[in-house]
Amino acid sequence: MKKAIIITYILMLLFSVSSFAASIGLEETYIEDTGEYRYYLDERNYVTSSQQLGKIVGNVIKFTYNDYTYVSLKKDGEDVEILSGGYIYGNGSYTLTVSNGKDSGSIGFIIKEPSAEDLDSDESFYNKTSFTQSYSAEDNMYSLSMRELYTFRSTIPNYAVTDGSVKIYTPSDRKMSITAYKDGVETGFSSGKTFSDPGYYVLSFVYDSADINDEMYTESDLQGFSDEAMENAALNADSSYFNIADVAIYSFYIIDGPQNRLNYIDPPQDYNISSVMLEGQKQTVEGSFYKTEKDGNYRILFKSIDGTLPDYTLNFSRDTTAPTLTLEGVGAGGIAKNNFRIVKDNENTEVEIYKGGVLQEDAPEDINTPGLYRIVALDSAGNSNTYVVNLKIKSAVTILWLILLLIVSAAAVKLYSSYIGKNIHIR
């Protein structure tokens, strides 16, 4: 009893120490081959990010990390689920924490519309603007205007999440440059294009509001200005003289089927969350975004802030439950003898079978070849479950030796019995 009390006390002490783990910094490294940033807690524990953190980020971010690194994320002080390979989007202030169970390190970043600092070219010549939205009931489309400079049309509002396709019409204008990105990678775009593949999309609109080679100044004039001279000149002159390109961002998120990474819902531009229904039951809405904590079918209604835009509805299903398999013939510790069989608990589950780290194409449900197997169950929402099976099979040679041993043993017993019978005499 005394020994059990001591062990319990030691475990409690260890837990209290780990609860107050030391907080240390994360070391940033840029990976030139992929253009990504890696944030190290130590040599073994790190997170790879598609964007540089510690600043304002105007695009979707993809995080990847290994199985033994503990990673957590907060958005505006609220916990947000983060999965390796998942995408983070939505305006807000974030804190990413990396831990190894003993030490931890954090770094913050903000997601919002890109500012001049996020652009590759000289920020002195860019002016961040926003779209204003209106709606036409006649053609059921939104009009988004970049001040008086440019207007395009779309079937959904800015920053919207949709379970359908998105069609966008952009009038031609020699001063307008439009670039589309899907999940952070540039993709093709032209007016009238319909986007239907699931993913996070960003359209960057850059409008040249002046021609630098015409009346105002030439390239040779610009070469005569140092950075300091340009900054001083901008402070004492009409800012429009130097901000010759206006930039605005339009983005949306297309979902398809059950979701396991849509952990919070931001309203589209110029909208508020009006109501949230989960399996037909009304949910409490607090704050500017809604955190989806339970699995099930959601119906979210957004209403225009000033009443000039139509109601917008999002329907989606949340599923974070990992799929399961039944492995017939597998015993304790994942050991199977001679063979085992894989049975899906759900017919829609996809199964991947790896042997020695190599994916087995067209592998049968009945496995009878010895080796170490890793079996991964996947569902349409992106959930997964992994099983490890060690299949051991007795070879034919081993079986023959066992048979021979039994024969020899039986003969020896018979011979010994005969000897005893001949040499033992009862008086």
Q: Which residue has the higher pLDDT, 378 or 238?
A: 378
pTM for the full model?
0.59
17 φ, ψ to 5°? -65, -45
107 φ, ψ to 5°? -150, 140
Q: Which helix (H) or strand (E) holds 29?
A: strand 27-31
User: Is the pLDDT score of 219 beyond 50?
Assistant: no
Per-residue confidence (pLDDT) for residue 16, from 0 to 100 = 30
* Burial class of residue 418, CB neighbours in 10 A (0-12, 13-18, 19+): exposed
- pLDDT tier at 120, thresholds 50, 70, 90: very low
Q: How far is CA 399 from CA 128, 370, 391, 407, in A?
A: 78, 16, 17, 13
| Rounded average pLDDT over 116-145 | 75
Task: State how beta strands 199-208 and 176-182 pair.
Answer: antiparallel
Per-residue confidence (pLDDT) for residue 225, from 0 to 100 = 45
User: Is the pLDDT score of 357 beyond 50?
Assistant: yes
Q: How far is CA 146 from CA 107, 207, 403, in A?
A: 34, 9, 87
- Tokens 């990847």 map to which residue? 64
17-31, 148-162, 200-214: range with highest mean pLDDT: 148-162
User: Is the pLDDT score of 328 beyond 80?
Assistant: yes
Q: Of the ranges 65-74, 229-238, 269-278, which one carries the lowest mean pLDDT score?
A: 229-238
* Whole-number Å distance between alpha carbons of 215 and 211: 8
User: Is the pLDDT score of 252 beyond 60?
Assistant: yes
Q: Where in the chain is the domain with CATH 2.60.40.10?
A: 321-420
Token pair for 68: 């033994």
Q: Of the ranges 22-26, 131-135, 267-271, 291-295, which one carries the lowest mean pLDDT score?
A: 22-26
Distance of CA 17 to the CA centre of its chain: 31
Per-residue confidence (pLDDT) for residue 104, from 0 to 100 = 87
- pLDDT tier at 415, thresholds 50, 70, 90: low
- pLDDT tier at 412, thresholds 50, 70, 90: low
Q: Of the ranges 124-138, 171-185, 284-298, 301-315, which one carries the lowest mean pLDDT score?
A: 124-138
Sheet containing 46-49: order of strands: 27-31, 36-40, 46-49, 61-65, 87-88
- pLDDT tier at 123, thresholds 50, 70, 90: very low
Q: Which residue has the higher pLDDT, 332 or 275?
A: 275
* Whole-number Å distance between alpha carbons of 17 and 137: 62
135 CB contacts (<8 Å, ≥6 apart)?
Answer: 141, 142, 143, 308, 309, 310
Query: E strands of 147-220, at which residues?
Result: 150-154, 160-162, 166-169, 176-182, 185-187, 194-195, 199-208
| Rounded average pLDDT over 330-350 | 90
14 CB contacts (<8 Å, ≥6 apart)?
Answer: none
Per-residue confidence (pLDDT) for residue 24, from 0 to 100 = 57
Number of H helices, E strands in the chain: 4, 35
Q: Of the ranges 166-175, 325-334, 358-367, 398-407, which one carries the lowest mean pLDDT score?
A: 398-407
321-420 is classed CATH 3.30.460.80: no
Q: What average pLDDT does the structure give for the chain?
A: 78
Per-residue confidence (pLDDT) for residue 195, from 0 to 100 = 96
Q: Which amino acid is at 390?
A: N
Token pair for 164: 């359908």
User: Is the pLDDT score of 240 beyond 50?
Assistant: no
* ∠ CA 213-216-219, rounded to 5°: 40
